[in-house]
Amino acid sequence: MSVGSRSPIPAGCQYISKYDVKVTAVDIYCTRPNCARPLNSFPDLDSGKVIKTITQKFCVTCGMPLMLGGRYLVEKPLARGGFGATYLAIDRYTPAMRKCVVKQLQPVGFTPEQMTIAKQMFEREGEVLEKLGKHPQIPDLLAFFEVESNGDEFFYLVQEFIDGFTLEGLVQQYGAIAELDVIDIMKSVLPILQFVHENGSIHRDIKPSNIMIRKTDQVYFLLDFGAVKQVTVGAATGLASTGIYTPGYGAPEQMRGAKVYPSSDLYAFGVTCLYLLTGKDPEDLIDPQTNQWRWRSFVQVSPQLGEILDHMIASAPKDRFSSAAEVLQALGAGTSISVPPASQSTVITPVPSAPTSIPDMPSPAPVQVQVPVVPEPMPQPAPARVRPPASKPWLLQVPLSTQLFGAFLLGAQGGLLGVVAHAVMLKSIGVIPTVVIVGGLMLTALALRVFAILDNKDVLVFVNILSILVVGALQFFLKWNLPNLGTIALICGTAGFATVALMTIFRLVFQILFSIL
């Protein structure tokens, strides 16, 4: 995205990239679940040649093979789920010891039936990733294999490592994202969803932590296809859902354990956009009394985007967009969307997921063997660049035109008070009381504008016109010895323009300091 002059990558962002890989590795992390001492140190591997030629290394505590698939050395754990874990690793058979992500299925304590279900799901993920990884914004599948150790079976897949930060991490550190940036994010991510859906899959776990921005070029990636649901060609009626979803982002049909559709992903992506715009979790955007969305009370957006988002988060799948392409068309058309009444006040009815034999795992289903030919990826728009969110000083958050208009009226009112103080108050009550009264009035006016009235031109105009009328009435009825109205207007105008100049300088200084810091 070309909007904004600052770099889109905050200097302090170190989410996954904090696990930097050394040229030579001496520490290898054991992936066996519940290993007492998973970190192993090998001084003899402190050589590029040794680490590339040695046959295997084993955990000194539990005997687990450490060179997974003979080539991948795990450095650190990244995340753990219900029945799997994700690790950062290096590929010792690449010249630069390339980083990669290793995902492991952990079948500890599973019954044979549960093991069958788990293997089917893991194999399905591998099949889907091999097919979907052809898209430039989905991590490539690098390897898929099994490891046996002491009678236990472990299953691994290796993916391309994306060095970047998630949208969730960006919002947590910097706050809500501006509307124009969210629109650019939508235009970058929706083509990925369209590709996924056109290739017979539904992601089912769209959320801010599963959308990553690569640091080098700000390209967006869709992550974590562990919950992906592959559908057969022509299955227009959808598929039965399982308990795999993230609370707050899962569509109502997912929460009920009913069939899922491409619009189920669009619902989750719509909620993701609300999180980006407001910086608030989904549960904070729903009225607990009525279970209706109330996101509009936290952020103001253009009518077009508001209608599109309401359409995406409609409760019933039939009331939503049927495809990501339709959302893209609505974003590009710039016309009003006809939103069904149900989606204007979407009601969320949480229903517990249908119980399954394994938590977060689908019921046994035949794995689709015949994989359809993958079409060429859709043309991608230029990668969007996220400008720094709105966690700025108040002086930079207010629109420039509104701020300068308020500064002029503030200065004009100050000039009017100065005229009154010089002509009347100094002679009647003395210098110190005059300074106290005028200073108190100015600070009160400033506080009202900063905290409550700065974005309301009508109130500002009303206050200043009222002040002029009061002074004029006092001069007419009490015969105050004030300058004529022309002189008063000249003084007020000069004070107003001086305040505008001063505010412009302050804003410029703040902008420079904020850009540097």
Say how far residue 26 (Cα) sits from the centre of its chain.
36
Sign of CA dihedral 313, 314, 317, 319: negative
- The residue behind tokens 């005229």 is 419
**Active-site annotation holder among 184, 205, 265, 319:** 205
Yes or no: say if 326 and 269 are a contact pair by the CB < 8 Å rule.
Answer: no
Full DSSP string of 218-232:
--EEE---TT-EE--
Yes or no: say if 419 and 496 are a contact pair by the CB < 8 Å rule.
Answer: no
H-run or E-run covering 169? helix 167-174
Say how far residue 214 (Cα) sits from the centre of its chain.
14
Q: What order of strands is seen across the sheet that includes strand 152-160?
A: 67-68, 72-80, 84-91, 99-105, 152-160, 141-149
Helices 303-312 and 179-198 pack at an angle, to 10 degrees, of: 40
Please state, in angstroms and rounded to a whole number, the distance separating the CA atoms of residues 24 and 21: 8
Nearest Cα to Cα of residue 317 among 239, 206, 378: 239
Q: What order of strands is seen across the sheet that includes strand 164-166?
A: 164-166, 211-214, 220-222
| Paired tokens of 329 | 């068309």
Verify whether residue 205 is a known catalytic residue: yes
Please state, in angstroms and rounded to a whole number, the distance separating the CA atoms of residues 102 and 225: 13
Contacts for 235 with CB less than 8 Å, ≥ 6 apart? none
Please state, in angstroms and rounded to a whole number, the distance separating the CA atoms of residues 347 and 342: 8
Q: Please, where are the H alpha helices in 366-399?
A: 394-397
| Catalytic center residues | 205
